[in-house]
Copies of this chain bind each other. A is one copy, B any other.
C-alpha cells in the first residue's frame, strides 16, 4: 500500500532552492548554506540534499534505504539534468558528473569523506573527452574518481593506487604528476580497474546509478565510523542526529585559461582590514591550490584577467557578508568564464581581526554590540596582550614544554636566581632556567625576561608567579635536563651553558635556540571600544590579583575594578626584608617574634601605601600571610651558614630549627590562618600596617575601604578569633590616627569544610573569596605541584576533560562553590562573594561564576580583559538582574 511519503530530497538550482539557510537540522550545515546561496540568486552548481532524517531511518531499518527515497533521488537527478542543460548521469554523449558530500548539523571537519567526478565510466569518459576536447583532463578525472570511490566506498586503500602512479613515474623517469600525459592516465585507469578486480573479485562498477547508490550509502555509513563516533563523544554531539548527503553537479576550474578556482575572505583574516582578500589559480582544481605546486595569484588580479567574473565575485561576496552579517570564507570555481560558488562559511580569523571586524561591523550598522562581543572569543584576547615570537620568522625549536604563561622571551641562560639578578644588574637580558622554582627565586624571576623549568605543571610555582607577573614562562620541559651545579641545560643533543641565547614562546610552550625576532602587542583603538561595550553589559565585577604597585598599575590599565587578591608573602622575599622575616621565624618566643615583626612593619606599610595609591580608592583585598614559614628559610648548606653567621646563632641550632619546621605535606600544613592562630602577633602586625597605610592616605583625601582577607579558614572559630584580633588592632590604629574608616574582614573559601559549613563561617565574614586553586587541590586531593605526574595520562584517557587548575571543575569544585554562596548568604545576606586564583581569568570559569551569582572574579592583571569580555558573554547568554 502506497502512502504519501515524507519529503526526503531537497533540490536547489537555477536560482531557487526548496530548502533554506535555517534548515540546518534537516539539511545539515552545508546543505542549508547551498540552499541559502541559491535562493539569494548566487550561482551555485545545482544539486540536491538528502535529509538527515533519511540517515536516521537508514540506521533504524538496518542500513536500508527507506521506501520512496530511490524515487525522490531519481526525481532529483531529473531536475538536475534539466538545470544542467540536458546532461544526464551515465549518458555517454553528455554525461552529468556529480560530487557527493556529507554535511551534518554542525561541522565535523575531516570526519566523513567526499567523492568527486562520480558518473565517469569507460563510456562517459569518452563523452567527457569529446565535450572538453581535453583527454588528459578526462582520463585524470576518471582515475581520480576510481581512486576516491575505491577508498571511500569499496574499502581499498588510497596508497595502493598511489603506488601504481609512483611505478609509472619511475618507469618514465619523471617526478611530478603533471609530467604524466593523457596516455599515462589512461593506462593507469586500466591498472586501477585491474587492482579493484583483484582486490574485490569483481569489476569497478560501471553503472553510474550503482555508483551513486554506493556513494550515498558510504556517506551514511561514515556517520558511524570510529573517528566520527569519537569526535561526537568529545564534542558532545548526539549520535542520533545523522548526516545529510549533498549531491551536486561537478564544475571544473581546470578546463582551460578561462577556468580557475579560488578561496577568499571578505575581510583580511589577519588584520581585520575591510578589503577583499584571497587567492586563485587559473586552469586549476581546488586540490591544486592545496598541493602548493603552483603559486596562486592574489584575488585582485582577477580584476584584470576576468573583469566580469571579478565584478560578479565582488557583488556576491558583499551580498554574502551582508546576508550572514559576518566575515565569510568563500570557495569559487570559474568554468569556462562562468562563476560558481561552492561554499560560504564564517571565516576564521586572528584575535586582532576578530576585534576589528566586530567593532567595524557595529559601526557599519551590520550587527549590534552584543553580537559584536560574542564574535570575539575571550581566550583569543591573550594573543593581543603579549609580545609574540614573530609568526613569520624561521626558528629552531629544540623542545616543547607547557605554555605556562603567554608571551615571548629572548635572553641569555642563567641557572640561579641570584645570577639572574647579577646579570640583569649589568644590563643583560636573561632567561632563568631551573628544574623548578621556589619562592626564594622571586627576585631572579622578577628581573628575567622569561622562565623555563624542566618540572612542574601549568600551576607550578613558576607558572603561577610568571602569570601573575605577566611574564613568559615555559614549564615542565620534560626533555630538558637542568644541572644547576654545572650550569648546563641538556636538551637532546644540544648542550647549552650559562650565557647562551635562548628564546621561549610561552604561548606555545616552544623552546627555541638563539634569538628569535619578536613582535610587540598593539592594543588598537577597536580593542578599547569593544572592552567598553563589555563593561556596559556585564554584571560580574572584574578585579586583579596584584601584590606590588607595578602589578596594580598594570591591573588598572587593563581595566581592573580593584584588587581581589594581594598576597602579602611575596613582599617578604625582597633581600632587605627576608632577614627580618627569618629572624621572626627563628625567634624563640613571642617577644622575639614581635621584635622582628616591628622591623617588617614599615616595609609592609609602605607596600600598602603604594598599592592604595595606585588603585585610587578602588577596593583592595589584602590577604594575610598564607604560606608555611619554612618557605622563607634557606635550605642549602651555604645559605644556612651565611644566615647563621648573620643572626649570630650556631649553624646546628639553625639547621635544627629549619628541620623542625619541615612538613610532609606543606599544602596541608601549618599555614594560613593556622599561623594567625598560633602566632597572633604576625597577623596583628599586618593588620596594623594595612590600617596605618590606609589612615595615612585618608588624611591625604583618599577614600579607602580596606578589605582584610584571612586565608585557609575551615572552622568558624578560627575566623571568629582572628576577626576579633583584627578589629581590635584596626580600631586601635584608627583611634591613634584619629581617622575613622569603613573596612571589611572576610575570608578565603578554599577548603571543602569551609564550603559545606559556609553558613557558620559567613557569620564571621563580610566577604568570601573562593580560592579555587586550593579548593581544587583539596576537593580532588590533587597537589598542583605533583599533578604533572599523572595529569597527562588523565587528559589522554579522557578521565578529565581539562586541567582542573585551568578550567574550573564545575560539577565537583563548582558544586562546593555554589553551596558556599548559598549557605553563606543564608546567614549573611550582605555577604560579598568573589573568586581569586587561576580560574578568575578562564572564560568558562568566569561564565560559571556569573551563573552562580558571584559579585566578582579576580585574576592576573594580564587576563583582566579576557575576564571582562567573558563576563559580558556570560551576561548575554545568561542574563542576570
Contact A667 B669 (CB under 8 A): no
Contact A665 B799 (CB under 8 A): no
Taken residue by residue from 68 to 99, chain A's Cβ proximity to chain B (1 for < 8 Å, 0 otherwise) reads as 00000000000000000000000000000000
Interface residues of A in 776-796 (CB under 8 A from B): 777-783, 785-786, 789-790, 793-794
Contact A780 B714 (CB under 8 A): yes
Taken residue by residue from 312 to 344, chain A's Cβ proximity to chain B (1 for < 8 Å, 0 otherwise) reads as 000000000000000000000000000000000
Q: Which 10 A-B pairs have the closest CB atoms?
A: A668-B783, A665-B783, A752-B752, A664-B785, A753-B812, A669-B786, A670-B789, A751-B781, A717-B799, A665-B665
A780: B residues at CB distance < 8 A: 714-715, 751, 753
Assembly CA distance A798 to B718 (angstroms): 10
Contact A777 B812 (CB under 8 A): no
Taken residue by residue from 729 to 772, chain A's Cβ proximity to chain B (1 for < 8 Å, 0 otherwise) reads as 00000000000000000000011110011001000000000000
Given A665-B785, A789-B669, are A779 and B797 also a contact pair (CB < 8 Å)?
A: no
Taken residue by residue from 687 to 721, chain A's Cβ proximity to chain B (1 for < 8 Å, 0 otherwise) reads as 00000000000000000000000001011011001
* Interface residue? A774 (CB, 8 A): yes
- Contact partner of A753 among B663, B779, B789, CB < 8 A? B779
A794: B residues at CB distance < 8 A: 674, 677
* Interface residue? A295 (CB, 8 A): no
Contact B797 A721 (CB under 8 A): yes
* Interface residue? A815 (CB, 8 A): yes
* Interface residue? A811 (CB, 8 A): yes
Q: List 6 A-B contacts (CB under 8 A).
A: A664-B666, A669-B783, A669-B789, A714-B780, A753-B779, A760-B811
Contact A715 B665 (CB under 8 A): no
Q: Which residue of B lies closest to A663 (CB)?
A: B786
Contact A815 B665 (CB under 8 A): no
A789: B residues at CB distance < 8 A: 663, 669-670, 674, 678
Taken residue by residue from 628 to 671, chain A's Cβ proximity to chain B (1 for < 8 Å, 0 otherwise) reads as 00000000000000000000000000000000000111111110
* Interface residue? A813 (CB, 8 A): yes
Please give the number of chain A residues whose Cβ is less than 8 angstroms from any Cβ of chain B in the complex.
48
Q: Which residue of B lies closest to A460 (CB)?
A: B664
Contact B779 A677 (CB under 8 A): no
- Contact partner of A783 among B664, B750, B753, B799, CB < 8 A? B664
19 other A-B residue contacts (CB within 8 Å) besides A669-B783, A752-B781:
A663-B786, A664-B667, A665-B666, A665-B783, A666-B786, A667-B668, A667-B783, A669-B786, A670-B786, A670-B790, A677-B794, A714-B779, A717-B797, A717-B799, A721-B797, A721-B799, A753-B779, A757-B811, A778-B781
Given A715-B799, A781-B712, are A813 and B753 also a contact pair (CB < 8 Å)?
A: yes
Q: Write the nearest CB–CB distance from A462 to chain B, whole angstroms.
A: 13
* Interface residue? A800 (CB, 8 A): yes
Interface residues of A in 375-409 (CB under 8 A from B): none
* Interface residue? A816 (CB, 8 A): yes
Assembly CA distance A667 to B665 (angstroms): 7
A717: B residues at CB distance < 8 A: 797-800
Q: Which residue of B lies closest to A674 (CB)?
A: B790
Where the two chains meet, the residues of A that have a C-beta atom closer than 8 Å to any C-beta of B are 663-670, 674, 677-678, 712, 714-715, 717-718, 721, 750-753, 756-757, 760, 774, 777-783, 785-786, 789-790, 793-794, 797-800, 809, 811-813, 815-816
Copies in the complex: 2
Given A757-B811, A815-B756, are A668 and B779 also a contact pair (CB < 8 Å)?
A: no
Given A757-B812, A811-B757, are A668 and B714 also a contact pair (CB < 8 Å)?
A: no
- Contact partner of A816 among B669, B756, B760, CB < 8 A? B756
Contact A786 B668 (CB under 8 A): yes
Assembly CA distance A793 to B715 (angstroms): 14
A718: B residues at CB distance < 8 A: 799
Contact B777 A752 (CB under 8 A): no
Contact A782 B668 (CB under 8 A): yes
Assembly CA distance A813 to B754 (angstroms): 11
Q: Which of A751, A757, A774, A799 neighbours the largest number of chain B CB atoms within 10 Å of its CB? A: A799
Contact A793 B757 (CB under 8 A): no
A812: B residues at CB distance < 8 A: 714, 752-753, 756-757
Assembly CA distance A686 to B712 (angstroms): 39
A756: B residues at CB distance < 8 A: 779, 812, 815-816
Contact B774 A781 (CB under 8 A): yes
Q: Which of A669, A677, A794 neighbours the largest number of chain B CB atoms within 10 Å of its CB? A: A669
Q: Which residue of B lies closest to A781 (CB)?
A: B751
A815: B residues at CB distance < 8 A: 756-757
Q: Which residue of B lies closest to A667 (CB)?
A: B665
Contact A752 B668 (CB under 8 A): no
A774: B residues at CB distance < 8 A: 781
Contact B678 A783 (CB under 8 A): no
A721: B residues at CB distance < 8 A: 797, 799
- Contact partner of A781 among B668, B797, B800, CB < 8 A? B668
Q: Write the nearest CB–CB distance from A725 to chain B, whole angstroms.
A: 12
Assembly CA distance A797 to B715 (angstroms): 13
Assembly CA distance A800 to B714 (angstroms): 11
Contact A665 B786 (CB under 8 A): yes
Q: Which residue of B lies closest to A774 (CB)?
A: B781
Assembly CA distance A714 to B664 (angstroms): 22
A799: B residues at CB distance < 8 A: 677, 715, 717-718, 721
Q: Which of A666, A756, A777 neighbours the largest number of chain B CB atoms within 10 Å of its CB? A: A756
Q: Which residue of B lies closest to A435 (CB)?
A: B659
A816: B residues at CB distance < 8 A: 752, 756
Q: Write the nearest CB–CB distance from A649 to chain B, whole angstroms.
A: 18
- Contact partner of A793 among B663, B678, B752, B781, CB < 8 A? B678
Q: Which residue of B lies closest to A794 (CB)?
A: B677
Assembly CA distance A774 to B779 (angstroms): 11
Q: Which residue of B lies closest to A716 (CB)?
A: B799
Q: Which of A715, A760, A777, A786 neighbours the largest number of chain B CB atoms within 10 Å of its CB? A: A786
Q: Write the nearest CB–CB distance from A117 to chain B, whole angstroms.
A: 45
Contact A781 B663 (CB under 8 A): no
Contact B677 A790 (CB under 8 A): yes
A666: B residues at CB distance < 8 A: 664-665, 786
A712: B residues at CB distance < 8 A: 781
A783: B residues at CB distance < 8 A: 663-665, 667-669
Q: Write the nearest CB–CB distance from A604 to chain B, whole angstroms.
A: 23
- Contact partner of A665 among B668, B798, B800, B809, CB < 8 A? B668
Assembly CA distance A712 to B799 (angstroms): 14
Q: Write the nearest CB–CB distance from A655 to chain B, whole angstroms.
A: 13
Q: Which of A750, A774, A785, A790 neighbours the largest number of chain B CB atoms within 10 Å of its CB? A: A790
Q: Which of A665, A780, A781, A789 neighbours the largest number of chain B CB atoms within 10 Å of its CB? A: A781
Q: Which residue of B lies closest to A481 (CB)?
A: B656
Given A779-B752, A786-B670, A816-B752, are A797 and B665 also a contact pair (CB < 8 Å)?
A: no
Q: Write the nearest CB–CB distance from A662 to chain B, whole angstroms.
A: 9
A714: B residues at CB distance < 8 A: 779-781, 812
A778: B residues at CB distance < 8 A: 668, 752, 778-779, 781
Q: Write the nearest CB–CB distance from A461 to chain B, whole angstroms.
A: 9
A786: B residues at CB distance < 8 A: 663-666, 668-670
Q: Which residue of B lies closest to A819 (CB)?
A: B756
Q: Write the nearest CB–CB distance from A443 to chain B, whole angstroms.
A: 21
